[in-house]
Structure formats: C-alpha cells, structure tokens
Amino acid sequence: MGEAGRASARAGRSLVRADILGRMSGTTLQRLPAAYAPTRGALHRLAVYVISPAQRLVNGEIIMRPTPGGFSTFEFGDKRTVGVRGDRLVVNGAEHRITSLRAAAELVGIEPDTEQQDQFDVPPYGDLDEQLPVEEDAALALGDWYAFAAQALEALRSLATEEDDATIVRLWPEHFDVAIDMGNGDAGRRATYGASPGDRHHDEPYIYASPWAGRIDGFFDDPEFRGASLLRPQLEREADPGRAAVEFLRDAWTRVQAQG
C-alpha cells in the first residue's frame, strides 16, 4: 500500500471511530439492580451449559456475541440461533420463559453439557432442575453492559491495521466477558482488550486490557490479573462514560504499541 492508500485508510478509521464515539457520547451508566449478581450468575450457567454447547455440538464454535437485551450464539447449522433477551431464552427467534437448565436444554434440543464444569474455570452447574434466578431488569442491565462494552471495543478496533489482525468482538462462555485480541504478536505488541460483567477478580463489571507480554509498565497494575482495569463505579462517576471507556482502552493500546 502506498502513502496515499495508507492516508486513506487512516482517514477511514478516524471516521469510523468518530461515528462510534458520537453514538456513545452522552451515554450514562445507572446503578445496577439489586438482583444483578445472582442474575448474572444464572445466565452465566445458562451460557456455559446450554447456549454455547448448542452451537459447539454443530460446528465446534463456542463464542457468542452481544445482542439487543442480552447475548446470543452466531448463526449455526440451518441458520439457527440460541440466546437470551432480558429474562427470556430465545430459540430461533421464539421466546421462552427461563426456568431450569434442564428445561432450557430440552427447548434447545440437547442435554446440559455438564462436562464443561471439569474442563474449564466456570461456575458449577448445580441443580439442573432448580429455577434459575433471572430477573428482567437485572438481565437487561447485563445486556446493556455488553452493548456499551462492544461499542467501546469497536472504537478501539477502528485503530487496527491489517498487521494487527484484530478479531471481532466475541463473548466467551467461560469468563462471560466480551473481548477482542489485537496487535502484532510477533513484535510483542498483542493484547486482549475486553469487558467483564463481574467475576472472581472484581464483583462489579469492568473494562480491561491484558498485554500478552504481561505487566509491561505501571499502567497495568490490577492486583488480580496481569493487566489494567477500569471499574464500572469509576465509569458511573464520569460525565461521559463511553468516552472514558474508549480513552482507557486507547491509552492501554498506545502503551502496548510502544513495546518491541
């Protein structure tokens, strides 16, 4: 690519980033509902033992994606999808009340994939027949967090060049986080950038950046893992949480790019 082509690509990325920042501008983050933590835990179990396996058993893929009001698989098989919208399980567009893991699996057409518990760092599946404690307002708050995070990550992706090999925004069942990998790994400048809905590291949701090379400087000082974090309560105090999230990710990206 010549200089003119590179300049055009930079201009295009700037326009994309400006558009995303414009859509995020003025975003507010409300306090999370009281039922957020148990609802998040229940939906995490549903994702690990039913939703992700429904896709994996067909095409081997485990990743999901944020969707309005929640999350979903990508299309698989004969254009099938399984996901969550609020307090409803959505199977091929049809909504069903979320009850138990076993009932959800029956709706999807599989058995709960309990072997996941022994293979990955995931919450235990527990009683397959108990009512999952999912409250609508808390489930929608989780979906809103994923949407907020996905937009911030897309803004960061707009900085990537071809050699950065940026992934799409993916929602991982094990840690229940949305994330991208981006940067030149051969040059020691690759990192994972993402957002957790809350986990064993931090109870509250948070934005994070984790260089594959480890703690490359003092910015990456989270005591729980080898990276940097921006907690949701910090974002709630910002006048423009969306811009603050993007600036945090961009700062982390700039520091990673200075390596090698």
132/212 same-domain check: no
Confidence at residue 8, expressed as pLDDT on a 0 to 100 scale = 46
Say if residue 112 is in the same domain as residue 44: yes
Domain-embedded: residue 192: yes
pLDDT tens per residue, range 245-257: 999 999 999 999 9
Query: Could you count the other beta carbons within 10 Å of the beta carbon of residue 62?
Result: 20
pLDDT confidence of residue 28: 79
CA-to-CA distance for 32 and 147, rounded, in angstroms?
15
7-57 pLDDT, tens digit per residue, is 444 544 555 455 655 556 567 798 999 999 999 999 999 999 999 999 999
Residues 97 and 149 in one domain: no
Residue 30 is assigned to a structural domain of this protein? no
Tell me the residue type at 114: T
Cβ–Cβ < 8 Å for 122, 101 = no
Average pLDDT over residues 214-235: 97
* Res 120: pLDDT: 81
Is residue 61 assigned to a domain? yes
Domain span including residue 151? 143-257
Choice between 11 and 186, residue whose per-residue pLDDT is larger: 186
| Whether residue 48 is found in the same domain as residue 134 | yes
Q: What is the mean pLDDT of residues 178-195?
A: 97
Separation CA 181–CA 239 (nearest Å) = 28
User: Does 6 fall in a domain?
Assistant: no
DSSP string, 118-152: HHSS------TTSPP---HHHHHHHHHHHHHHHHH
With a cut of 70, say whether residue 172 has pLDDT above it. yes
212 in a structural domain: yes
Number of folded domains that form the chain:
2
Is residue 44 included in any domain, yes or no? yes
User: Can you tell me the mean pLDDT for 187-205?
Assistant: 96
Per-residue pLDDT, averaged over 83-106, amounts to 98
Residue 42, domain member (yes or no):
yes
- Do residues 154 and 211 both lie within one domain? yes
> Cβ neighbours of residue 193 under 8 Å, at least 6 residues apart?
153, 156, 179, 180, 181, 182, 208, 209, 210, 249, 252, 253
- Asked whether residue 153 carries a pLDDT value surpassing 80, the answer given is yes
On average, the pLDDT of the chain sits at 92
Mean pLDDT of 139-145: 98
Contact predicate 57/40, CB 8 Å: no
Separation CA 61–CA 51 (nearest Å): 11
Report the pLDDT value the prediction gives residue 27, as an integer from 0 to 100: 72
Residue 6 pLDDT grade (very low, low, confident, very high; cuts 50, 70, 90): very low
Question: In sequence order, which ranges of the chain are alpha helices (DSSP H)?
Answer: 3-24, 36-46, 52-59, 101-108, 116-119, 136-157, 232-236, 241-257
Give the mean pLDDT of 93-117. Answer: 97
Mean of pLDDT values over 184-198 = 97
Give the mean model confidence (pLDDT) for residues 123-135. 97
Neighbours of 4 (CB within 10 A): 8
How far is the C-alpha of 70 from the C-alpha of 136, rounded, in Å?
A: 11
The whole-number average pLDDT for the span 69-94 is 97
Residue 215 to residue 228: CA distance in whole angstroms: 9
Dihedrals phi, psi of 178, to nearest 5 degrees: -100, 140
- Same domain? For 166 and 247 the reply is yes
